[in-house]
Amino acid sequence: MTDSNAVFDPRALAARLYSLHNAGKQVPTADFALPTDLRHAMDAQNFLAAGQGITSNAWKVATSPDDQAVAAPLHPYIEALSGAEIPWAEGMKFEAEIAIRLGTDLPIRDSGYSRAEVADAVATVHLGAELLVSAIQEGGRASFLLFLADRLGNSGYVLGPPVPKTLIDTATGTPMKVTFNGQPVYDAPAQHPTGDVLTWLVGYANDRLRPESSLKAGALITTGTLCGAIELSSPGEIDILLGETSKLHLSLVAK
């Protein structure tokens, strides 16, 4: 049993998460010493990212159950016009997403940012694919702070070719088809959890707790799923078609 009076050790949590990912294992939330606040969770996430050697300037943004804006680095991160290979892992899930690259900085400021100001800072828009595997059996359902320490479950990202910038306004409701090994796994209008792909990015831009170094020109930010989280029970080929012309292909390969 964990001593509730013990000082939380973010390095120890990061080392545990790192070891579990390397071994391809998941354990329940109850087996972890839990972060008690956002700072603890982010300290652990930063140690985990350092241990994994993450250097890409690519991020996912989200919000906690109590509406705190959060972010985590994407890794492994691959830019691929036509396709890419990502290692498959047991329990892996997939999300088709819109990603944006900033053309100008969004520094922390007291007045905050409107959606229009954030949209104006976007240089390019892309179709992307996020892969998710957490070392935590319950994901973020039992402890969101623990899930945040585990890089919000990210286990890979493939950035596809540029798509029309108008998709940051029209992605929700755009027809989307996803196949896995040639079989349809999603065929319906794209639907972001908030209805707007910029919601979480605007929230993060307006978060005064975020690092001063965040949201600089050149940063790549993915904005959230358009198809829910689709479990992938084996290695295979994924094809995404958003609208009539925006396409992305990737391969999940056995380790």
Q: What is the pLDDT of residues 30-58, one digit of tens each?
A: 999 999 999 999 999 999 999 999 998 99
Residue 140 has a pLDDT of 85
Residue 4 has a pLDDT of 46
Statement: residue 27 has pLDDT above 80: yes
Residue 41: C-alpha distances to residues 24, 55, 177, 194, 206 (Å): 22, 19, 36, 24, 20
Cis before 175 (ω within 30): no
Please say whether the dihedral angle defined by the alpha carbons of residues 237, 229, 75 and 101, taken in this order, is positive or negative: positive
Bridge partners (DSSP) listed for residue 183: 180
Statement: residue 8 has pLDDT above 70: yes
Q: What is the pLDDT of residues 52-94, one digit of tens each?
A: 999 989 999 999 999 999 999 999 999 987 779 999 998 999 9
The residue extents of the domains of the chain are: 10-253
Q: Place 3 in a pLDDT band, splitting at 50, 70 and 90.
A: very low
Q: How far apart are CA 208 and CA 230, in angstroms?
A: 33
Statement: residue 195 has pLDDT above 90: yes
Q: Which residue type occupies 10?
A: P
Residue 131 has a pLDDT of 97
The model carries a pTM of 0.93
Q: How far apart are CA 104 and CA 157, in angstroms?
A: 23
Q: How many CA atoms lie within 13 A of 144 on its CB side?
A: 13
Q: What is the pLDDT of residues 133-159, one digit of tens each?
A: 999 999 888 899 999 999 999 999 999
Range 10-253 classified under CATH 3.30.1330.10: no
Mean pLDDT throughout 190-197? Answer: 96
Q: How far apart are CA 98 and CA 194, in angstroms?
A: 13
Residue 6 has a pLDDT of 63
Contact at 8 Å (CB) between 229 and 132? yes
Q: How far apart are CA 255 and CA 252, in angstroms?
A: 9
